[in-house]
Chain A
Amino acid sequence: MLKILKYSFYDLMRSRWSYVYFAFYLLLGIVLLFLNNDLSKAVITLMNVIIILVPLIGTIFGVMYYYNNKEFTELLLAQPLKRSSIFLGQYLGVAISLSMSLILGLGLPFVFYGLFESSAIWDFSLLLITGTFLTLIFTALAFNIALSNENKIKGFGYAILLWLFLGVIYDGIFLMVLIGFEDYPLDKVSLIGTMLNPIDLSRTLILLKLDISALLGYTGAIFKQFFGTNYGLIVSFIALSLWVILPVLRMTITSKKKDF
């Protein structure tokens, strides 16, 4: 598995797309920091970018990589290798190279800006951690979609739909539910609803570190009580980890059964 991971990783590191992705984040980081002059404001803008773009790029890249490498994968399948290690290796190769582009691309400008002397370092690390989680989650979901769909167009379609659903449509439904049941106590429902969507969960986690004054209204108190404490933080990270583990498990199981 490690060998395949290494191969995928080096392959991607040599590819143009990783550099474009890296350069994009580098540019974004530099522009935000040196035109904005306010670290915490820059972190908020970055959050908006991260919770939308990272999942999108993770899904598209994952699907694309799987379909492009299909022939090579079939070649590997002919060798005496465990199936799970082939797919896990490829998945980790993509996910790790994407995460590295993100972390380095955003991290470098912030380090040059003097992040280590700033109090925003914790907000920023949380941002990078959730960004990495989102990459891991959406690449895994993308691999699942690609594995289940032989048709490339269909696969891409589902991948985009998935991103659209979790990024936008889910919030719409969530909002309708909250408004529809406004006569009932909704604290628990809204907590659970947030937990079920990795994008919402990441957003809430970062927001509670940054934008808490609004959330501290009389309903905000209960969210703060949950997400603001170590207990809430741990539960949130467990939820995010589950979002990584479950798709990866499904990926290994389907890849074992699949007839190539």
Chain B
Amino acid sequence: MKKLVVFLTVILMMDLALAQTLEVCKTCPISSIKAALAKAKDFDTIVVKKGTYREHNVVVDKPLTIIGKNYPVIDGENKGEIITIVSDNVTVDGLHIMNVGTSYTEDYAAVRVQRSKNFLIQNLVLERLFFGIYIERSSDGKILNNKIIGDAVEEYNSGNGIQLWYSKNVEIEDNIVQHVRDGIYLEFSDFCTIKNNLSSLNVRYGLHFMFSNDDVYQDNEFSNNGAGVAVMFSKRIKMYNNLFKDNWGSASYGMLLKEINDAEIIGNTFQDNTIGINIEGSNRIIYKRNNFSNNGWAIKVRGACYENSFTENNFLYNSFDMAYNSNVNDNTFDRNYWSNYTGYDLNKNGIGDIPFRPVKLFSYIVNRTPETIILLRSMFIDIIDFSEKVSPVFTPDDLLDNNPLMKKVTW
């Protein structure tokens, strides 16, 4: 055993001794990254000094570490893709990459990882881009601390900040993504972790899931995006402690759930969105300890949603707590706090003595005829809401919270 350790150490030492560092700068013998790549051997380190390098189609086909000192600028001059990684164990760190070419036939990216493992992409600054970081059929990588600022205006001619396609086990942490089409986009990507990112001011979604299972996203902030966050056709997604705010607009929501099963939505805050969560065809989802405050609609249920449970959430000052478009209800509501609750608590156990009905008649009417929203807070509406509350006709009569809390839930 001891011999083996010594042997391995020696191998490692040799390896380190063999691995050399190549410097790239304007006045060095190696003045371009492409030249450095051509000269480098496996496991070498390329240090790029400060300066501007006009290069595109840089292909990294060996396990290398590329480190930028003081953020050297790599200018793609809008000619196409800039860095393409096709080897395992590549690290890219501290570069300022700009001017990725826009194309309508190919998805040019600032950094693309293709069929590789163990990549590490960190501390990059990306500007004027089409696609930012594009991970394709790769796994076990990390994307950390990058700042991606696009200039997208329209959906059709812009790309996504961070895109994962058929990739597994990727960690995306502490990134800032702004002004692109979708901030972070996952398609067919499983077991990924998305943590502490800020995704805002994007043209379409802050975060977008398609056909991706078993992913976790937590502690992220999604604000001022065109349409919030969309989670579609995915299973077993865990969403913890995220902040969704200010997603305002004619077709905007904090979060869109479509065909999502067995997800957990815990500890999130939905604030000042037109629609907090829009749910469609989603089953067995646990909503727990979320804050819904000052939204137009806190939750809008579009149909085909079964066996979802809403417990210990706070519904604070939303114009509508819930909109529901069918008469059938199979979802459970229990121990939530509703600021619109007007009941009493005679036995002082903190639970209201009469059940709360989250769906008002008016929200049903608005669902049917959207223009009626103009009668919001009219006295006539208060009267019909009251009569519906007393004897439900249009709204599902079993949709109620039997144990509404008298005080806000704190955790």
Interfacial residues, chain A to chain B (CB-CB below 8 A)? 41, 47-48, 51-52, 167-169, 171-172, 174-175, 178-179, 182, 186-187, 189-191, 193-194, 200, 203-204, 207, 211, 213-221, 223
Chain B residues with Cβ below 8 Å from A213 are 248, 272-274, 294-296, 319
Q: Looking across the interface, which residue of chain A has its beta carbon closest to that of B275?
A: A217
Q: Are B378 and A203 in contact (CB under 8 A)?
A: yes
Chain B residues with Cβ below 8 Å from A218 are 250-251, 370
Cβ distance B85 to chain A, nearest Cβ, rounded Å: 42
In the assembled complex, 12 residue pairs joining A and B whose CB atoms fall closer than 8 Å, in A order, are A51-B379, A171-B380, A190-B372, A193-B374, A213-B274, A214-B320, A214-B373, A214-B376, A215-B296, A215-B374, A220-B250, A221-B249
Q: Are A194 and B320 in contact (CB under 8 A)?
A: no
Chain B residues with Cβ below 8 Å from A167 are 379
Bound: A213/B383 CA distance, A: 23
- Counting from the closest, the 7 A-B pairs by CB-CB distance are A214-B319, A214-B296, A171-B380, A219-B370, A186-B371, A221-B250, A213-B296
Q: Among B252, B272, B320, B373, find the residue whose CB has the most chain A CB atoms closer than 10 A.
A: B373
Interfacial residues, chain B to chain A (CB-CB below 8 A)? 248-252, 272-275, 294-297, 317, 319-320, 365, 368-381, 383
Q: Looking across the interface, which residue of chain B has its beta carbon closest to that of A173?
A: B380
A211: contacting residue among B251, B319, B368, CB under 8 A:
B319
Please name 16 further chain A to chain B contacts, defined as beta carbons within 8 Å, in addition to the given A52-B379, A178-B371, sorted by A numbering.
A48-B377, A171-B378, A172-B380, A175-B365, A175-B380, A193-B374, A200-B375, A204-B374, A213-B273, A213-B295, A213-B319, A214-B274, A216-B250, A216-B296, A217-B370, A219-B371
Q: Looking across the interface, which residue of chain A has its beta carbon closest to that of B294?
A: A213
Q: Are A178 and B369 in contact (CB under 8 A)?
A: yes
Q: Looking across the interface, which residue of chain A has its beta carbon closest to that of B319?
A: A214
Chain B residues with Cβ below 8 Å from A187 are 371
Bound: A47/B379 CA distance, A: 11
Bound: A194/B379 CA distance, A: 14
Q: Are A182 and B368 in contact (CB under 8 A)?
A: yes
Bound: A52/B383 CA distance, A: 13
Bound: A175/B371 CA distance, A: 9
Chain A residues with Cβ below 8 Å from B378 are 171, 200, 203
Q: Are A215 and B376 in contact (CB under 8 A)?
A: yes
Bound: A193/B268 CA distance, A: 40
Q: Are B376 and A179 in contact (CB under 8 A)?
A: no
Chain A residues with Cβ below 8 Å from B274 are 213-214, 216-217
Chain B residues with Cβ below 8 Å from A174 are 375
Chain A residues with Cβ below 8 Å from B379 are 51-52, 167-168, 171
Q: Is the interface of A mostly helix, strand, loop or mixed?
A: helix
B248: contacting residue among A52, A194, A200, A216, CB under 8 A:
A216
Bound: A221/B371 CA distance, A: 11
Q: Are B319 and A190 in contact (CB under 8 A)?
A: no
Chain B residues with Cβ below 8 Å from A169 are 380
Q: Looking across the interface, which residue of chain B has its beta carbon closest to that of A44?
A: B377
Q: Looking across the interface, which residue of chain B has its beta carbon closest to that of A210?
A: B377
Bound: A152/B249 CA distance, A: 52
Chain A residues with Cβ below 8 Å from B275 are 217
Given A215-B296, A216-B248, A218-B250: A175 in contact with B370 (beta carbons within 8 A): no
Chain A residues with Cβ below 8 Å from B383 are 168
Bound: A105/B274 CA distance, A: 35
Q: Are A175 and B249 in contact (CB under 8 A)?
A: no
Bound: A221/B296 CA distance, A: 13
Chain B residues with Cβ below 8 Å from A172 are 380
Q: Are A190 and B365 in contact (CB under 8 A)?
A: no
Cβ distance B382 to chain A, nearest Cβ, rounded Å: 9
Q: Are B373 and A217 in contact (CB under 8 A)?
A: yes
Q: Among A213, A216, A219, find the residue whose CB has the most chain B CB atoms closer than 10 A.
A: A213
Given A213-B273, A213-B294: A175 in contact with B377 (beta carbons within 8 A): no
Q: Are B373 and A41 in contact (CB under 8 A)?
A: no
Cβ distance A5 to chain B, nearest Cβ, rounded Å: 33
Cβ distance B229 to chain A, nearest Cβ, rounded Å: 17
B377: contacting residue among A168, A194, A211, CB under 8 A:
A211
Bound: A204/B380 CA distance, A: 14
B373: contacting residue among A48, A52, A193, A220, CB under 8 A:
A220
Q: Are B296 and A175 in contact (CB under 8 A)?
A: no
Chain B residues with Cβ below 8 Å from A190 are 371-372, 374
Given A186-B369, A213-B248: A175 in contact with B375 (beta carbons within 8 A): yes
Chain B residues with Cβ below 8 Å from A178 are 369, 371-372
Bound: A73/B317 CA distance, A: 51
Q: Are B296 and A179 in contact (CB under 8 A)?
A: no
Chain A residues with Cβ below 8 Å from B272 are 213
